[in-house]
Amino acid sequence: MEENQEKNILNKVAIVTGGSKGIGASIVKKLSQNGYSVILNYNTSKIEAEKIALTNKNIHLFKADVSNYFEVQSLVNYAITNFGKIDLLVNNAGIDLIKTINDTSIEDFDNILKTNLYSAFYTSKEVSKYMINQKFGSIINISSIWGLIGASCEMAYSVSKAGLDAMTKSLAKELGPSNIRINSIAPGIIDTDMNKFLNEEEKKSIISEIPLEKIGNVSDISECVLFLANSSYITGQIIQVNGGWNI
Ligand code: NAP
């Protein structure tokens, strides 16, 4: 019995969207070091993705634009064909947009919603079919502090992340009876390319608002992903990882 349980742990399968950079890359590495076969989804950063795959033989690459439903179907088919199941889906892929509402075009708004929110609908729709059949699964959505409190000049981004949190709560209720847990992690500010436009003055000003007086690391998020993946009684929650920025 113990042997079987261990085998199951070692044979877990995860899909991580946007795993080529930043937070996603850290999640991919963390899961691959903790008994998961990981399908690293990337879109444009092929070279970065290939470098990450070199760190662990349990990392497998799949290129897909997750804002496109047909490409998401191919991603999920790849996982099922090659691994037979999906235990964990991490919806991490995301883009930011800093514009006033007047400067935000219809195309901008569509693009943000498709990349950050529709993508999670597409992946969850495809993956949940298999999770329902296997009566087990976990979905983790990487949302944002801005989905909870709103950000000036980031309305489209904030809307997309609030939508993700609503998806988390709704699917937790709908899929809980099938033993599928859905949670969000809402980061504050994490040191990645997404924030590389900030100058030192701007960073200092943000840090002055954070009780822990620092910007977070990608590992702060990947450790939380592993914790949620390993838990069995947490669902429908928005876990804030932000150094106390939103107390
Ligand atoms: P990042 O370094 O800019 O990385 C973004 C990742 O998303 C890349 O791997 C990129 O893949 C992928 N991606 C973007 N569009 C995609 C698409 N259409 N299809 C597939 N993959 C796509 O950003 P990050 O900071 O790590 O952010 C990761 C997540 O955390 C995002 O959802 C972000 O909103 C959220 N978050 C970040 C912060 C922060 O402070 N950094 C705070 C709150 C929330 P390619 O490069 O291969 O295209």
Instruction: Calculate the dihedral angle through the C-alpha atoms of 27, 31, 32, 37, rounding to the nearest 10 degrees.
Output: -110
pLDDT, residue 235, reads 99
Query: Residues 36, 42, 122, 157: which is the catalytic one?
Result: 157
pLDDT of residue 22: 98
Give the CATH H-level superfamily of domain 2-241. Answer: NAD(P)-binding Rossmann-like Domain (3.40.50.720)
Kindly list the protein residues whose Cβ atom lies closer than 6 A to any atom of ligand 1.
17-18, 20-24, 41-45, 65-67, 92-95, 115, 142, 144, 187, 189-190, 192-195
- Going 62 to 64 to 66 to 68, the CA torsion angle's sign is negative
What pLDDT, on a 0 to 100 scale, did the predictor assign at position 2? 43
Using most ligand atoms within 8 A of CB, pick from 75, 158, 192, 210 the residue to mutate for ligand 1: 192
Given this model, what pLDDT does residue 124 score?
Answer: 99
Domain boundaries, the chain: 2-241
pLDDT for 1 equals 39
List the chain residues with pLDDT less than 70.
1-10
- Alpha-carbon distance 92 to 159, whole Å? 16
Q: What pTM does this model have? A: 0.96
pLDDT at residue number 11: 85
